[in-house]
Structure formats: C-alpha cells, structure tokens
Structure 1
Amino acid sequence: MNKDQVEAHSLFNSMQKTQVLLDEFEKLRPNWKGSIIRFASMLLGMAFILFMYPEVAQPPVSYVFLILIFGMNSELHSESKRINKRIDALHKLLKDDV
C-alpha cells in the first residue's frame, strides 16, 4: 500500500467511526414512544395507589395528589428538555471538531 491508500483507509475508518457515533446519537434522541411510556407508567402507578389505598380518591387528598403529580411531571419535562438542549449543543460543538 502506498501513502495515499493508507491515508484514504485511515480517513474511511474515521468516517465510519463518526457515522456510528452519529447513528447512536440519533437513536438516543427523545421520541414520542418514551413520552407515551412515561405517561402510561404514571397512570398505572396512580391506579395501583388507588387500588391499594382507596381513601386517596376522596376529594381533599385527591386534589393535593393531583397537584403533586402535575408538578412533578412538569418539572421532569422541563429538566428533560433542558438536558436534551445541552446535549444537542454539545453535539453541534463536537460536530465541528469531528
């Protein structure tokens, strides 16, 4: 192999590694399936709590319970969104280096 072939092979290998990393990055991007799974698990958790402790369904307790659920859900959503924005920004920074 001459020098040009070695450089071409090295470049091709680095491009393959970059493509594998980009594919993994895209695979880890949040999607609608994850949101549906989180929502369904939250509903199942609520159903389990209501089944085990029926007194939770009475109005004063249920309102507080509902407010806490919505608060935690919105906090989780905003934190997840912020983390994903940071990861995207990091990817853009690293994309220039790669």
Structure 2
Amino acid sequence: MKKEELEAQSLYENIQKREALLTEFHNLKPNGKSSALRVVGMVSAIAYLICAFPEVIEQPVLYVFLIIIFGVGAEAQRENRRLNKRIDVLHQLFQSNV
C-alpha cells in the first residue's frame, strides 16, 4: 500500500508541476494590450519631454528620433527577456515529459 501511495503522490506532484509550468507558459504569451500600452507610454514620454523642454522641438528632429530609438531598444530588450523565459518554460515542459 505504501508503494502505491508514494507513486500516486509522485504522480500528483508531477501533474501539479506541469500545470504550473503550463500556466506560466501561457502567462508569458504576448498580447495586444501590452503593445498598446507601450505605444501610449512612448507617446506620453515624448509629449512630456516636449512640454518640459520646449527647446527640444526647436532643435533638429534627431532628438525625437533618439528618444524613440532608446524606447524601442528598451522594449525590444524587455520582449527578448519574456521570450527567453517562455522558451525556458517550454524546455522544462519537454524535459518533464521525457
């Protein structure tokens, strides 16, 4: 009886671990809401800089491009991290099936 209980407990723990990994995998999936929030954030940051420092608008447009480039770079790095986490979770799922 003990052996069967241990096997059942082990199976239950494996199922729980797999469900937790699947939940994390689905939570890391990109969605349209986060993309829209990023765009709104970038526009807000540019609007704030233009209002706080009006001389930015008088200067060449390169300042605005520089701000946009830094924002896009930061967002690309953030998405890269999320993608790598998702790949790690997927790898763990495959390893648990083997």
1:25 and 1:88, CA in 2 relative to 1: closer, same or farther beyond 3 A? closer
* 1:1-98 equivalent positions in 2, closer than 5 A: 1-58=1-58, 60=60, 63-98=61-96
Runs of 4+, deviation exceeding 6 Å:
none
1:78 and 1:36, CA in 2 relative to 1: closer, same or farther beyond 3 A? same
Q: Percent identity?
A: 27
Taking the aligned partners of 2:27 and 2:87, their CA distance within structure 1 comes to: 17
Taking the aligned partners of 2:75 and 2:84, their CA distance within structure 1 comes to: 14
Which protein, 1 or 2, shows the higher relative CO under an 8 Å CA cutoff with sep ≥ 6?
2
SS at match of 1:29: coil
**1:59 Cα shift?**
5.3
Give the count of matched residue pairs: 96
Give the RMSD, CA atoms, in angstroms.
2.4
What are structure 1's unaligned runs of at least 5 residues?
none
What are structure 2's unaligned runs of at least 5 residues?
none
